[in-house]
Amino acid sequence: MSFRKILLAAAIAAAVGLFFALDLGRYFSLEALKAQQTAIEAFRARQPWLAAALYFAMYVAVTALSLPGAVLMTLAGGAVFGLWWGTLIVSFASSVGATLAFLVSRFLLRDWVTARFGERLAAIDAGIKREGAFYLFTLRLVPVFPFFVINLLFGLTAMKARTFYWVSQLGMLAGTLVYVNAGTQLAKIESLAGIVSPGLLISFGLLGVFPLIAKKIVAAVRANQVYARWSKPSRFDRNLVVIGGGSAGLVTAYIAAAVKARVTLVEKHRMGGDCLNTGCVPSKALIRSAKFLSHTRRATEFGCRSGTADFDFGEVMERVQRVVRAVEPHDSVERYTGLGVEVIEGTAKIVSPWEVDVTRENGATERLSTRGIVIAAGARPFVPPIPGLEQVGYLTSDTVWALRELPGRLVVLGGGPIGCELTQTFARLGAKVTQVEMAPRIMIREDVEVSEMVTRRFRAEGVDVLVNHKAKQFAIEDGEKILIAEHDGQDVRIPFDVVLVAVGRVANLKGYGLEEVGVVTSRTVDTNEFLQTNYPNIYAAGDVAGPYQFTHTAAHQAWYAAVNALFDPFKKFKADYRVIPWSTFVEPEVARVGLNEQEAKEKGVPFEVSRYELDDLDRAIADSEAHGFVKVLTVPGKDRILGVTIVGEHAGDLIAEYVLAMKQGIGLNKILGTIHIYPTLAEANKYAAGVWKKAHAPQQLLAWVARFHAWRRGE
C-alpha cells in the first residue's frame, strides 16, 4: 500500500474512531434533534448562509465517512430549512458525500480487489458498463442495502464517478423529498421506522424497477423492428431449420430432436462438415501415420538397432480416407434420420426470418417455414491476395487431402495450429518443408517458451522454420516456383514445388441470404450472448459465429443455439465461455485451458506459476518421451486455477483433468488429494499440484511441528 493510501486510511479510521469513542452518535437521535430544534432554528434565522454551509459540510462528512446518521440529518434538513431548501441542500450534500465515499473506496481498495479477483471483476465491470446505471438507480430507490454499502461497493467497480454522482442524485431524490418533508413535521414524528409507509415503499420499488423494465421493453421493441418489413406466417411447418451439417449443425439438430422438436437439417456438401471431411479427422489420421514413421526413425531410443518403414505416400493418404469413412456413420444422414432429424441434402438460402429455400442437386427447390433458424454454415480457408499465388497454384486444408504424391519441396504458409500440424506431418512423411510465418514466432497465442520448444523440435526434424518472413509475391522463374518473402527489409527467395496456404479461416457469410434478409455480419455472423443474430429467432453457432474455431466449441455453442431457439422467450441461456480448452497436435503436443502467462500479463491478472517438468516423470521416462512440462497459473496465495499449459506426450488428454477442475471450481489441493494411477502421464497433473503445495507449505507451523517431534524424541 502506498504512503498516501496509508495516510488516508489512517485519517478515516481516526475520524470514525473519534465518532464512536466520543459517542457522537447520541447527537444523531430523534430526541436530541427535537431537543435542539429551537436553538438550531434560531441560529439559522441569525446566520442563514453559515447555517446552510455548516449543515452541508456535516452532511457530506457523515455520508463520506459512512457514519450512521444520514436519515436524522435529512429530517433535520426539513425541520430547519423547510421542504424546498432542505431538499436542495440534502440532495447535493448526500450525492457529494456518497461520491466521496465511492472515491475513497476506489482509491483504497480497487487495486487490491483487482489484483485478487481480476478476472471476475472484469466480468462485473462489463455488466456495470452495460447496465450499472440502471441497477444503481434501482438500488437508490429501493433501499434493499444500506446506502453506505452501495457507495463502497460501487467504488470497487469501474463505474465512472460522474455517472455514480448523477445517478445517485436522481435516484435518491424521491426518498430525500419524503424524509425532508417528514422533517418539516418533526414534532409529530415518534419514530424513524414509521416515516415511510409500506404503500410508499411499494411505489418506490415500482419507480426503481421502472427504468430497467423500460430498457428491456425498448430492447424488445428494437429487436422486433427488424421484422417490420416481413409478414410472419400464421403457423410453421417446423420448429427449427439448421443450415449446415458440420459439428455445430449436427449437435444443434441432435438436441432439437432429443427434446422432441420438429427439426430439419440442410447440408449442401458432405455431412460432418470440415471436421470429418477436411479438418480434425483426416489431419489426426495423417498425424498418426507420420508419428509412426517418426518412431521408426527413433528406433535406437527404444533399444532397437534400427527401424525402417517401407511406405507409399498415396497409400498413407488412402488410409486417411479409410479413417474418414470409418467415422462417417457417426455423422450420416441415416443416423440423424434415425434420431428424428429430417435431413435434406441441398443448398439452403434464408428468404425471410421464417423461411428457408432449399435447392437440391437436381435443381428442385422447396420452401421450408420454421419458427427458428440456426446458421451453422462454417468457415473456409482464408487465401491472402498475394500477387502470383493464383498463377503458381496452391493447396489449402480443403484440398490437401486429395494429394497422392508427396511434394518434394513444400512451403507451408502460416504458423498457426493448422499450419504447424501439417508442417511437421509432411516433414515426417519425407517432404522438405519450409514453414513461413510473418510473426516473430510460430504458435503466437502460446507462451514464448512453448513456441521455442516446438520450433526446436521442428528444426531437429528437418523443417526450415522461417519467422519474421512476410510472403510478398509468388513467381515462376525458369520453370521453378519461387516465393519471395520479406525479412528484415530484404527479399528472401524460397524455391518450392507445392505451397500449402494455412493462414487462417474465414466465416462463410455469402450466398445464402444473409445480405438479402439483413442478418448483420462483420468477420462472422454477429450474435449476442444468447447466440441470437439481429433477428431474435435466427441464431448462429460454430465457425460462422466465432470467436473460437474448434469442433468442441462449435458443439458447445450448438447446445445454446438449439435450446435458446426452441425455448425463448420462456427460457434462454447465455453461452458460457469461461473455460475453453484446445490442443495443437504437433509433437510435443501443446494443450491449454484458461490463461497462459502472456495473456495474464496482457490482462493485468496477477498469478503464481507452479511448474512440473515431465523429464522427471517415471512414465514419460519409460516411454522415452521425457520432455515438456505442466504449467499451472493460480491466483496468488490460493489454489484456484487461472489456466494451464501442458506441453508433452498426450497433452490434449492430460489437460482434461484441469478443464474439469476449472469448470467445477476444484483447486490444486483437491487434485493433489486425488489418487492418480502409477505409472501414468496423468500423474504429472498431481505433481504440478504438489509443486504448488510445497511452495505454500506453512513454514512457521512446520517449525513448530519439528519442535514437537524433537520433544517426542526426548530432546
Ligand X SMILES: Cc1cc2nc3c(=O)[nH]c(=O)nc-3n(C[C@H](O)[C@H](O)[C@H](O)COP(=O)(O)OP(=O)(O)OC[C@H]3O[C@@H](n4cnc5c(N)ncnc54)[C@H](O)[C@@H]3O)c2cc1C
Report the interface residues with ligand X, using CB under 6 A.
243-249, 266-269, 273-275, 278-280, 283, 347-348, 376-379, 397, 418, 508, 512, 542-544, 549-552, 554, 585
Spatial distance between the Cα atoms of 624 and 417, rounded to a whole number of angstroms: 25
Residue 422 or 463: which CB sits closer to ligand X?
422
The CA-based angle 580-324-655, given to 5 degrees, is 25
Residue 291 or 297: which CB sits closer to ligand X?
291
Residue 250 or 672: which CB sits closer to ligand X?
250
Give least dist CB 280 to ligand X, A: 4
Task: For CA atoms 365, 369, 375, 376, give the dihedral sign.
Answer: negative
The label of the residue with cell 427488424 reads: 226
Give least dist CB 400 to ligand X, A: 8
Give least dist CB 215 to ligand X, A: 33
**What is the Cα 213 distance to its own chain's centre?**
28
Q: Which residue is nearest to ligand X (CB)?
A: 246
Give least dist CB 586 to ligand X, A: 11
Residue 66 or 549: which CB sits closer to ligand X?
549
Give least dist CB 264 to ligand X, A: 11
Coil vs helix vs strand at 424: helix
The label of the residue with cell 433535520 reads: 76
Give least dist CB 452 to ligand X, A: 23
**What is the Cα 490 distance to its own chain's centre?**
40
Give least dist CB 579 to ligand X, A: 15
Give least dist CB 101 to ligand X, A: 49
Q: Which residues contact 464 (CB under 8 A, 6 or more apart)?
A: 432, 433, 434, 435
Contact 238, 262 (CB under 8 A): yes
Contact 170, 94 (CB under 8 A): no
Residue 319 or 638: which CB sits closer to ligand X?
319
Give least dist CB 624 to ligand X, A: 25
Residue 296 or 359: which CB sits closer to ligand X?
359
H or E element that contains 564: helix 551-567
Coil vs helix vs strand at 46: helix
Q: Which residues contact 429 (CB under 8 A, 6 or more apart)?
A: 286, 289, 290, 293, 313, 316, 406
Grid coordinates of 187: 414534532
Contact 79, 184 (CB under 8 A): yes
- Check whether the bond before 679 is cis (ω within 30° of 0): yes
- Please, is 301 exposed, middle or buried when counting C-beta atoms within 10 Å of its C-beta (0-12, 13-18, 19+)? exposed
Give least dist CB 420 to ligand X, A: 11
Give least dist CB 346 to ligand X, A: 7
Which strands form 470-477's sheet, in the order they lie side by side?
470-477, 480-487, 490-496
Contact 501, 414 (CB under 8 A): yes
Give least dist CB 305 to ligand X, A: 35
Parallel, antiparallel, or unpaired for β 590-594 and 641-647? antiparallel
Task: For CA atoms 666, 672, 674, 680, give the dihedral sign.
Answer: positive
Residue 357 or 597: which CB sits closer to ligand X?
357
Residue 245 or 414: which CB sits closer to ligand X?
245
Parallel, antiparallel, or unpaired for β 464-466 and 347-352? unpaired
Please give the C-alpha separations between residue 484 and each of 388, 437, 495, in angstroms, as whole numbers.
Answer: 10, 13, 9
Residue 277 or 634: which CB sits closer to ligand X?
277
Grid coordinates of 479: 520453370
Q: Which residues contact 602 (CB under 8 A, 6 or more apart)?
A: none
Residue 100 or 500: which CB sits closer to ligand X?
500
Give least dist CB 424 to ligand X, A: 13
DSSP label of 230: S
Contact 160, 106 (CB under 8 A): no
Residue 307 or 504: which CB sits closer to ligand X?
504
Residue 275 or 671: which CB sits closer to ligand X?
275
Residue 587 or 613: which CB sits closer to ligand X?
587
Give least dist CB 161 to ligand X, A: 44
Give least dist CB 645 to ligand X, A: 17
Residue 434 or 584: which CB sits closer to ligand X?
584
Nearest by Cα to 423 from 628, 627, 586, 584:
586
Residue 183 or 542: which CB sits closer to ligand X?
542
Spatial distance between the Cα atoms of 562 and 541, rounded to a whole number of angstroms: 9
Q: Which residues contact 683 (CB under 8 A, 6 or more apart)?
A: 617, 618, 619, 676, 677
Parallel, antiparallel, or unpaired for β 538-540 and 505-507? unpaired
